[in-house]
Structure 1
Amino acid sequence: MAGGDSSPHLLEETAVHDHRKLGRELGLFDTDPLIGSGLPYWLPDGAAVRQSLEDFVRTLERRAGYRHVYSPVLGKRELYEISGHWAHYRDDMFPPLEMGGDADAEQLVLRPSLCPHHAVMFRSRSRSYRELPLRMAELGGMYRSERSGVLGGLTRVRAIQLNDAHLFCTLDQVAGEARGALELIAVAYRAMGIVPARYRLSLPGGSGKYAARPELWERATAILVRVLEELGVEYEEGAGEAAFYGPKIDVQVADSAGRESTLSTVQVDFHQPEQFDLHYIGPDGARHRPVMVHRSIVGSVERAVAHLIELHGGAFPAWLAPVQLAVLPLGEEQADAARELADRCRQLDLRAEVLGPERGTLAARVRDARLAPYQAVLGPREAADGTLAVRLRDGRRLDPLPVGEVLDRIAARVREHTVDLW
């Protein structure tokens, strides 16, 4: 936000933002050859955005009945041979780590996916139909052996933090779980200010990279088509875009240059429950095979943040903003009051930063704080009577209000995960 009395325009609607350039300029993330290509590190402001997104997703999932788990980023090669990843996905995996020098040495693999771990966790004890649907969620690391030529920023990386979940359910529950996952994605998109470009029903192609059993593919596809039609969602079919184990609904987003990418997915999988011999005990006392629904609300955290940087040009919704309230004391006389205000914000879990006179003129500091959704100018009158004169990022100036009222209002906006400022 620029200074002055006229309404500032942070971004032109037609502007094209490159998250790689903007992310570095704003101090969100960076890379270093010594760490390695495709392995970005997160700076404090970027870490604040990422943590806010992760906390939001976890809360959203918890309220929807998901149980969160943790699983190791390594697994035996045999695990991925059973799941099918080794046969169908090996070219995208890192080579196995040899644990010892003999011919029978154990081989460990950096995981390319979380689903095999969750399948093993499901079968760790006997399950009853009364436990289903079992919604198992994890924000976990996984690794892809991407070629150097395709790596870029946060969108193509080798170390990925994936917002993943696997819903183990009966056949009768599959459609409802897939529908619930799509509805959860819609809630998250509204909070992030994202509008899907299109929905794609991703189907197998003509290559041999897909698991066999055509009848299972047909059954899974029919369920996803039914869900899309019940929700009234228009979609396009994409041959050759399915996962190797089943069809999926891909939620496509587009950047300001019109380039599309997949952010969220819902997948139906009959294959891996068979591979891992998963069972639950039904009401008849017999063993039955569950269905596995794979679901990701925001996909990889890296790609999601990249899209948010480009979508908002760094001017994130208040709940995501690295600095939510910029405090601008007019002079040194208000410095102590400004620090006390920032401390008070932190007690409310608000991210505040003091931009004092040492940072330049008030106009210069207003420009420096242009990405903060809220700015509070603290002059002698405000410091004396306990009020704040708040300027919103969209250019609106509010009449002075009591400090407590302002902070409570901002905190409420942050808790509500809304794109509205006031």
Structure 2
Amino acid sequence: MEQHRHDHRRLGRELNLFDTDPLMGAGLPYWLPDGAIVRHTLEEYVREAERAAGYRHVYSPVLGKRELYEISGHWDHYRDDMFPPMALGAEEVVLRPSLCPHHALIYRSRSRSYRELPLRIAELGGMYRSEPSGVLGGLTRVRAIQLNDAHVFCTLEQAVGEARSALELIARAYADLGVRASRYRLSLPGEGGKYVADPQLWRRATALLREVLDGSGIAYEAVAGEAAFYGPKIDVQIADPAGREATLSTVQIDFHQPERFDLRYIGADGARHRPVMVHRSVIGSVERAVAHLLEQHGGAFPAWLAPVQLAVLPVGEAQEERAHEVVRRAAARGLRAEVRGPGQGGTLGARIRAARLVPYVAVIGEREADGGLVAVRLRDGRRPGAVPAAELLDRIAERVAGRGHELWPAA
């Protein structure tokens, strides 16, 4: 029963966050208004965190010529997971299965100096995977993916530090989101032709990733057969309420694509050198991140991420104008608030129950309206009592800005 109660597909429908339609197709969910708020807030959070960490954001097309993916190696090693090419005159274009080839082209679009490195390029971009229908489910396995991706172009000497900084960025994001990593995995190649045949490449990249993990003091397990086709990676694993594991965040050190795209920079010695490419994703795909957050929190998102942060409940029609005034003041503070009056949900008790996942509920009766107060109820069951509306908004704004998980100071 607990597993079902926290299933993100059920919660997504119950909370009106996302849905699907047969005419759009399997693995292609759409976002409803409250879900779009969660997605937008999460995207802005990660963009802000990346900007603070020195990343510059770009946009790149979701299509590329088949030749692009032949150069990157995707066509040879990943073709079964890509959508078929589309004829465009004499050319063939493909929906991209990843963002890294596009970012490699952005890097090589102009001459680079060692003084520019590390160059950190980030994008929240769409990519597409031809997933079999049997593995699709909710937001966890989809065919259209919005990926929080980034690529750091750096010198060999900078690679370990950049990968370690990426792990620190992931840890800070998990703390803000209330996400727990179940384990860290060093994903290595397995047998077969799936992987690039370059033993020296694999040895160099694996040694650097081990240095990153050991230097960070992180316990990890090395697992064969889970690497990307072009190199090993650090996978940050999460588990759902039923104990099923999935990868959310990744860090990779890549020597393959800089070689394939002939990436260069001019060193201090005036000679041309090959950069190293560090791939990293803080929250992975937005779809999988939201699915996990739904299940992790049972729909009770941290206040800063909740689609509605404050529900204002007038007891009767006489208090509705006062309730709307509080909502207007909340909106002016950048808070997400709405009035839930008698005409929207019946009795006060029924409206309170309907708002059980909203972090803050403010009830306004006759006494509160006359005194400029609101009776506060918290999602965790506490009732701090009647406070001035301005004080409540100050408290909410402070906690949202700090991305704290505590709704109200302990008595």
3-state SS in 2 of match to 1:400: strand
Q: Mapping of 1:14-163 within 5 angstroms? A: 17-100=6-89, 105-163=90-148
The structure 1 residue matched to 2:308, chosen from 323, 331, 345, is 323
CA distance in 2, matches of 1:37, 1:18: 18
CA distance in 2, matches of 1:390, 1:81: 60
What percent of counterpart residues are identical?
73
The structure 1 residue matched to 2:271, chosen from 286, 289, 306, is 286
CA deviation vs aligned residue, 1:54-94 (integer Å, no higher than 9, x gap) = 11000000001000000000000000000000000000000
**1:395 and 2:374 are equivalent in the alignment:** no
CA deviation vs aligned residue, 1:107-129 (integer Å, no higher than 9, x gap) = 10000000000000000000111
Amino acid at match of 1:31: T
Deviates more, 1:86-95 or 1:354-363: 354-363
Q: How far is 1:51 from its partner?
A: 0.8
Q: How far is 1:331 from its partner?
A: 0.9
3-state SS in 1 of match to 2:206: helix
Provide the residue aligned with 2:346 in structure 1: 360
Deviates more, 1:199-208 or 1:406-415: 406-415
CA distance in 1, matches of 2:263, 2:82: 25
CA distance in 2, matches of 1:212, 1:134: 28
Amino acid at match of 2:51: R
Q: Mapping of 1:163-242 within 5 angstroms? A: 163-242=148-227
Q: How far is 1:385 from its partner?
A: 2.2
Cα pair distance change 1:284/1:159, threshold 3 Å: same
Amino acid at match of 2:358: A
3-state SS in 1 of match to 2:184: strand
**1:269 and 2:254 are equivalent in the alignment:** yes
**1:251 and 2:236 are equivalent in the alignment:** yes
**Relative contact order: is structure 1 or structure 2 higher (C-alpha 8 Å, sep ≥ 6)?**
1
TM-score by length of 1: 0.95
**1:342 and 2:327 are equivalent in the alignment:** yes
Amino acid at match of 1:108: V
CA distance in 2, matches of 1:181, 1:159: 25
3-state SS in 2 of match to 1:372: coil
3-state SS in 1 of match to 2:78: helix
TM-score by length of 2: 0.97
CA distance in 2, matches of 1:191, 1:371: 19
Q: How far is 1:13 from its partner?
A: 7.8
Amino acid at match of 1:310: E
Amino acid at match of 1:53: L
Q: Do the aligned partners of 2:254 and 2:277 also contact (CA within 8 Å) in 1?
A: yes
CA distance in 2, matches of 1:15, 1:150: 19
CA deviation vs aligned residue, 1:258-306 (integer Å, no higher than 9, x gap) = 0000000000100000000000111111111000000000100000101
Q: Do the aligned partners of 2:377 and 2:385 also contact (CA within 8 Å) in 1?
A: no
**1:333 and 2:318 are equivalent in the alignment:** yes
3-state SS in 2 of match to 1:411: helix
CA deviation vs aligned residue, 1:375-415 (integer Å, no higher than 9, x gap) = 00111222222222211111111132222221121012111
Amino acid at match of 2:60: S
Amino acid at match of 1:194: V
Amino acid at match of 1:413: R
Unpaired segments of 5 or more residues in structure 2?
none
Q: How far is 1:14 from its partner?
A: 7.5
CA distance in 1, matches of 2:111, 2:53: 24
CA distance in 1, matches of 2:169, 2:5: 29
Q: Do the aligned partners of 1:15 and 1:256 also contact (CA within 8 Å) in 2?
A: no
Amino acid at match of 2:371: D
Provide the residue aligned with 2:397 in structure 1: 411
Runs of 4+ in 1 over 6 A off after TM superposition: 12-15
Q: How far is 1:15 from its partner?
A: 7.1
CA distance in 2, matches of 1:148, 1:221: 34
CA distance in 2, matches of 1:287, 1:401: 66
Amino acid at match of 1:69: V
CA distance in 1, matches of 2:405, 2:266: 45
Q: Do the aligned partners of 2:239 and 2:246 also contact (CA within 8 Å) in 1?
A: yes
